[in-house]
Amino acid sequence: MAVLVTGGAGYIGSQTCVHLLEAGKEIVVIDNFSNSSPLSSQAVKEITGKDFPVIECDIRDEEKLGEVFSSYKIEAVIHFAGLKAVGESCQKPLEYYDNNIGGTVKLLSVMKKFGVKCIVFSSSATVYGEKHTAPFNEEMEVGGTTNPYGTTKLYIEQILRDLCASDSEWSVCLLRYFNPIGAHESGKIGEAPNGIPNNLMPYISQVAVGKREKLSVFGDDYDTPDGTGVRDYIHVADLADGHVVALDRALSVKGCEVYNLGTGKGVSVLDLVKAFEEATGIKIPYVIAPRRPGDIATSYADCSKAKNVLGWEARRDVRKACEDTWNWQKNNPDGFTK
């Protein structure tokens, strides 16, 4: 039996593939490569020394999905596939609703048709919206998302809850990621954003490699220790470990469960810049710029549920994430080209 990994060529998906293979799981990857390269799956094969099918397939293509489910014995799905750029989602809301929500509905329909009722879903801390004070815990009311991307995560969570309510055979694990950073320690896979990075860590590493002149720090007047935004940066390898345990949990427990995956620690923009400089010895020039619309001051997780129920907690620190990011970035300044 195999685990179908949608979006498995992407940043978090490819790292999770490594950890699944190392845990002895069989995997099948599908991806439409809209934001990734098949070379990342090739690198996963090199890292693990294991082979697996990689199929170009859009999750909105029900017919092709059906062929995948007919060709392989799938026992569960880890569902990463989706568009994730917050700013772009405000410009192109219909594309986000179609791809993320429409695609997920198609995927779930095909899963149901083939009697595969176990799914681990990539949700986001963004579903907590703006009204709570960190640390965010899973009991807090979700909603009040500030952009269409976040709203797709909120709605998909609800769709999955409704599915579980309609049929007690479904197992759903909603994983709310905080801020994933870092890369595989081999330097063979990592985050390769198209164009100007939206997220802080890829921006810092592109400054370090000389692709960008300086970082703009979006606001230094927040109510935080140094005035810059505070986030919960989690190493992508810890996140991947979280998926392996969440998958085992979903395979053994029916119903819908939700877990935060973070470190529980708040790190400011300037803390992250400093950690990167210390880890790499490279100075990151920056300027203070206006606040970015939609940003909140502070976001970090209460991770006690994942620790108590799944026995999972993040083990790698921000320095390790900076070292691994730099190892990936300096060897692959233009992402997957070789």
Q: Please give the Cα distance from 103 to 179 (Å, whole number).
A: 24
Binding to ligand NAD (CB under 6 A) within 23-52 occurs at 31-36
Residue at shortest CB range from ligand WQD: 229
Cis-peptide into 135, omega within 30 deg: yes
Shortest Å distance, C-beta 82 to ligand WQD: 9
Nearer to ligand NAD, 32 or 299 (CB): 32
Residue type, 209: V
Q: Which residues contact 257 (CB under 8 A, 6 or more apart)?
A: 172, 173, 174, 249, 250, 309
Q: Of 11, 128, 149, 300, which one is the catalytic site residue?
A: 149
Name the one residue in this structure whose structure tokens are 């990734």.
Answer: 36
If you search the block for the tokens 């950890």, which residue do you land on?
A: 19
* Assigned token pair, 46: 């090199």
**Residue 179 β-bridge partners:** 233
Task: Please report, as residue ranges, which positions from 100 to 119 form the binding site for ligand NAD (by CB under 6 A).
Answer: 103
Q: Give contact residues for ligand WQD (rule: CB under 6 A).
A: 84, 86, 124, 126, 150, 179, 198-200, 203, 215-218, 229, 231, 269, 292, 295
Q: For residue 149, indicate whether it is catalytic.
A: yes
How far apart are CB 213 and ligand NAD at their closest, in Å? 24
In this complex, which beta carbon is closest to ligand WQD, that of residue 120 or of residue 269? 269
Close Cβ partners of 310 (under 8 Å, ≥ 6 residues apart): 242, 245, 246, 249, 259
Q: Which of ligand WQD, ligand NAD, none has residue 322 at its interface (CB below 5 to 8 Å by kind)? A: none
Stretch that binds ligand NAD, among 75-83, 212-220, 226-234, 325-333 (CB under 6 A): 75-83
Closest listed residue to residue 171, CA positions, set 117, 122, 113, 121: 117
Backbone phi, psi, residue 233, to 5°: -90, 120
Task: Output the six-digit token pair for 235.
Answer: 């190493």
- Residue among 3, 4, 13, 116 that touches ligand NAD (CB under 6 A): 13
Residues 202-221 that bind ligand NAD (CB under 6 A): none
Nearest-approach distance from CB 283 to ligand NAD, in angstroms: 26
Q: What residue 103 binds from ligand WQD, ligand NAD, none (CB within 5 to 8 A, per partner kind)?
A: ligand NAD
Within positions 118 to 147, which residues make up the interface with ligand NAD, using CB under 6 A? 122, 124
Structure tokens belonging to residue 171: 């197992």
Phi-psi domain of 139 (left: phi exceeds 0; alpha: psi -120 through 50; beta: other): alpha
Give the nearer residue to ligand NAD in terms of CB position, either 34 or 48.
Answer: 34
Enter the tokens of residue 103. 């695609």
Assess 82 for contact with ligand NAD (CB under 6 A): yes
Q: Is 182 in the site for ligand NAD (CB under 6 A)?
A: no
List active site positions.
149
